Amino acid sequence: MNQSSRKVLVVDPEKCTGCGICTLVCSFRHNKEYNPARALLTIIRDEKNGINIPVICQHCETPLCLESCPADAIYRDSETHAVCITQDNCIGCHQCVIACPFGGIHIDPSDGRTVKCDLCEGYAMCAQFCPREAILYLEPSELTNRLREKGVKRAAEFLHIITGGSKK
């Protein structure tokens, strides 16, 4: 997979209802049990503001988790470009958890292993099953088009506010 066609995970908190389907699908795919606590992503709920934010590894271009790992347990998959963990090499120091600025790495509550999203080997099940498309797995061109559409919609909303028009 070349760099220009590599898919990326995109999260839109405005669409997330906090239903948890993504965590159930993820935990079942990776652990064969429906247990959100064992999913490789989490949903942060801001009850006060009514916002739900799916937190997933961003598979950064320069992954701080990879750089912080003293055991060379973290690597980039050449096919999917996912940043993954080789469990056999992991020494459980949790430096990657500390280094990740996005909270995308977790400690499995059942066995204490350090775990993170691996893009389901290129299938990103969380995105496939999200009923509101709050999590998407997109080609860069699709991402650009969606961001452009969203920008145009927001610009139109602001224009209505500025000109005193009603929002329909």
Q: Indicate the domain borders of the chain.
A: 3-163
Helix then strand then coil, in percent of the chain rounded to 5, is 35, 20, 45
Q: How far is CA 31 from CA 15, 154, 164, in A?
A: 27, 40, 54
Place of tokens 């920008």: 151
pLDDT at 140: 81
Q: Options 3.30.70.20, 3.30.565.10, 3.40.50.9100, 3.30.2350.10; which CATH number does 3-163 get?
A: 3.30.70.20
Structure tokens given for 156: 């139109």
pLDDT tens, N- to C-terminus, the chain (168 residues): 444 458 889 898 889 999 999 999 999 999 999 999 999 999 999 998 889 999 999 999 999 999 999 999 999 999 999 999 999 999 999 999 999 999 999 999 999 999 999 999 999 999 999 999 999 999 888 877 777 777 667 666 666 666 666 545
In our burial notation (b when 16+ CB lie closer than 10 A, e otherwise), range 98-131 reads: ebbeeebbbebeeeeebbbbbbbeeebbbbeebe
The pTM of the full predicted model, rounded to 2 decimals, is: 0.81
